A and B are shown apart, each in its own frame.
Chain A
């Protein structure tokens, strides 16, 4: 039982990181019906931004603690948001309104570009992420929780609540929901749809960067290809929950995280990375619209 609870905690921790990345996929898809295959690479760049920010404030030299954590997160999220806006403006916007295949190919191109630019700029060899929090293990009824896991759970909860507030309580959030329902109808309400799309990319990219920093705190080896696998898994999580559906991305991420840790805990860790694709195949056969998705007819 204790073993099971331990797996549960580990699964929720990694699952909430997948959820944060999945939110970016799902929000962009919801608005543009477009899968941004470069999103995993934005996660990677975000992690590197976090690494640089940590370097600038001297976190590796021991200047760590809550203030350092906040600075690193804000810097990474802001940097990635700017990157997301640039990608949207210069790569995706020019092909908007063209056949979907063009956008898809553009996204793959952007992904390769970011990975190779990463190799060029950051170097191909892995970098070590500094310890932002003093390592500590808490024990709750025999279940061990590390300070990094506490940080992951608290941080992702906070970000998701924040996102929920933005989407359901603010003017821009309302505009996002309107645009995702119908771009034309939203324009007729006076909503500047281009600006809403830009804001969506900024928000999604910032969440990916936060996930990148959280991931690096638990798995402190950063390399320019780290976004490939995590991005793919988060995409599976988004599809699992129902792509385009915001709560679905959270549920999908958590389900995937739990499935991974349970499988590697009880079966074998060699299956860890495969389970995502097994889940993807199962959901596509059983309920293609995803766990929380409604069967909606495709809009043109």
Chain B
């Protein structure tokens, strides 16, 4: 469904992504794990059109999407939930969710809103509250809910568990599973490799802009090098 070949991204003199190739087949959860600064966010931002690749290509559903502006990529159903739960702090919860449906003209927006509220009852209670006053966990729920309002066929999720209490982390991964069950393909970026490898079918390990390892998530989780570096040697 998504094919990345030889992707290269630079920030001026910094060569952040060096020839990354990866593929995500339809219906799968694929995770991309790696340490701070490995380049995970950079890859996602390039896939969603926020950054320009300096080399390589991205195909989505068979079409070349390299270099397209973000809004055209969203229109094709490739939706990016960014790192750090960037919600529109000056708007209400409802307005945030409605912005997720900005491109949609169909009549199912209302029922999708209800689906988001089923996933996150907390958001329904706070529907008119300003998003800036939500707790960190609630903002993450809102960021995910807003992404779902775009009707993604493919979801890029950047560290959805970042900075959340352990109990909430469990909850967020449950939600990731549920979104997948409902038919969305997911590329999940995580530092919490332990949880990510449990949810995912397939995994890539990124180090300083290179893919250094890939394989079925269960195998990667057993690899001694991964256990040492990303799973706390457990």
Residues of A within 8 A of B (CB): 171, 174-175, 177-178, 181-182, 184-194
Complex Cα spacing A194 to B90, Å: 21
Interface size on B, residues (CB 8 A): 26
Cβ contacts A to B, 6 pairs, < 8 Å:
A174-B95, A178-B88, A184-B82, A187-B74, A190-B102, A193-B71
Q: How far is the CA of A178 from the CA of B87 in the complex (A)?
A: 10
Q: Is B99 touching A174 in the complex (CB atoms < 8 A)?
A: yes
Contact of A188 among B50, B95, B98 (CB under 8 A): B50
Give the most central of A178, A185, A186: most B CB within 10 Å.
Answer: A185
- The answer to whether B88 and A187 touch across the interface, beta carbons within 8 angstroms, is no
- When the two chains form their complex, are residues B71 and A187 in contact, meaning their CB atoms are under 8 A apart? yes
B103 interface residue per 8 A CB criterion: yes
Question: Which B79-101 residues have a C-beta within 8 angstroms of A?
Answer: 79-82, 86-91, 95, 98-100
Return chain A residues, CB-CB under 8 Å to B99: 174, 178, 186, 189, 191
Partner of B100, one of A175, A189, A192: A189
The answer to whether residues A184 and B150 also contact, given A174-B99, A177-B90, A178-B88 and a CB cut-off of 8 A, is no
Chain B residues with Cβ below 8 Å from A185 are: 82, 86-88
Q: Known contacts being A174-B95, A174-B99, is A187 close to B49, with CB within 8 Å?
A: yes
Cβ-defined contact, A187 with B69, below 8 A: yes
Residues of B within 8 A of A (CB): 48-50, 69-71, 74-75, 79-82, 86-91, 95, 98-100, 102-103, 146, 150
Whether A175 lies near B79 (C-beta < 8 A) is no
A190 contact from B75, B87, B88, Cβ within 8 A: B75
Are the C-beta atoms of A192 and B71 separated by less than 8 Å?
Answer: yes
Residues on A with beta carbons closer than 8 Å to the beta carbon of B80: 188
Q: Do A182 and B86 touch across chains, with their CB atoms under 8 A apart?
A: yes
Verify A181–B49 contact, CB threshold 8 A: no
| A188 to B, closest residue via Cβ | B80
Most chain B CB atoms below 10 A, which of A171, A184, A190 = A190
Complex Cα–Cα for A271 and B49 (A): 53
Complex Cα gap A188–B69 (Å): 10
Taking CB as reference atom, which chain A residue is nearest B75? A190
A171 to B99, CA, bound (A): 9
Please determine whether B71 and A190 come into contact, CB atoms closer than 8 angstroms: yes
Q: How far is the CA of A194 from the CA of B69 in the complex (A)?
A: 10
Let me know if A181 and B102 touch, CB within 8 A: no
- Distance of A183 Cα from B50 Cα, bound (Å): 10
Which chain A residue lies CB-closest to B149? Answer: A189
Q: In the complex, what's the smallest C-beta–C-beta distance from B116 to chain A, in angstroms?
A: 15
CB-based contact B74/A189 at 8 Å: yes
- Please report the C-alpha to C-alpha distance between residue A175 and residue B74 in the assembled complex, in whole angstroms: 15
Nearest-Cβ distance from residue A179 to partner chain B, whole angstroms: 10
- Which residue in chain B gives the minimum CB-CB distance to A184? B50
- Other-chain residue from B69, B81, B89, B102 in contact with A175 (beta carbon distance below 8 A): B102
Q: Knowing A174-B95, A178-B88 touch, does A187 contact B102 (C-beta < 8 A)?
A: no
Complex contact A191–B88 (CB within 8 A): no
A-side contacts of B74, CB under 8 Å = 187-190
Residues of A contacting B50 with CB < 8 Å? 184, 187-188
For A191, the chain B residues whose CB sits under 8 A away are 71, 99, 102
For B88, what are the chain A residues with a Cβ–Cβ distance below 8 Å? Answer: 177-178, 181-182, 185
Residue in chain B with minimal CB distance to A294: B90
Q: CB distance A188 to B48 under 8 Å?
A: yes
In the bound complex, CA of A188 to CA of B158 (Å): 13
Q: Give min CB distance, B142 to chain A, whole Å.
A: 12
A190 touches B90 (CB 8 A): no
